[in-house]
Structure 1
Amino acid sequence: MGDRRSQPTTEWLENEKVKRILTEYLDETDYRIYKELNRDGRISDTELGERVGLSRTAARRRREKLQSEGLVDVLGVLVLQEAELAYADAFVTLNSDISQDDFDDFLSKIEGEELIYEIDEYMGKYDLLLRVWHASLSDIKSYLRAQLQTHDAVERYETVPVTKTHKAWHKILSNSD
Structure 2
Amino acid sequence: MSETRTPLDAQDKRLLAALQRDAHLTAQELGALLNLSPSQAGRRRQRLEAEGVIRSYAARLDARRVGLSVQAFVQVAMQSHSPEGAKSFARLVETRPEIISAWTLTGEADYLLRVYCQDLSALNSLIHDVLLPHPSVARVQSQIVMDQFKADAPLPT
Q: TM-score, normalised by structure 2?
A: 0.82
Report the CA distance between 1:91 and its aligned residue: 0.9
Match of 1:92 in 2: 76
Range moving further from structure 2, 33-42 or 66-75? 66-75
Match of 2:19 in 1: 37
Query: Is contact 1:91-1:159 (8 Å) kept?
Result: yes
Match of 2:151 in 1: 168
Structure 1 runs of 4+ aligned residues shifted over 6 Å read: none
- Per-residue CA distance 1:26-76 (angstroms, 9 max, x = gap): 221111111111111122121122112222222222222222333223222
Aligned alpha-carbon RMSD (Å): 2.1
The gaps in structure 2 that reach 5 residues or longer are none
Is 1:146 aligned to 2:124, yes or no? Answer: no
SS of the aligned residue for 1:144 comes to: helix
Report the CA distance between 1:119 and its aligned residue: 0.7
SS of the aligned residue for 1:168 comes to: coil
Query: Is contact 1:81-1:165 (8 Å) kept?
Result: no
Report the CA distance between 1:134 and its aligned residue: 1.2
SS of the aligned residue for 1:156 comes to: strand
Query: Is contact 2:75-2:142 (8 Å) kept?
Result: yes
Query: Is contact 1:137-1:161 (8 Å) kept?
Result: no
Query: Is contact 1:81-1:164 (8 Å) kept?
Result: no
SS of the aligned residue for 2:8 comes to: coil
Match of 2:8 in 1: 26
1:48-127 pair list within 5 angstroms: 48-73=30-55, 74-81=57-64, 85-95=69-79, 97-127=80-110
The percent identity for this pair of structures is: 28
The gaps in structure 1 that reach 5 residues or longer are 1-22, 172-177
Query: Is contact 2:69-2:119 (8 Å) kept?
Result: yes
- Per-residue CA distance 1:102-132 (angstroms, 9 max, x = gap): 2012102211221111111111121111111
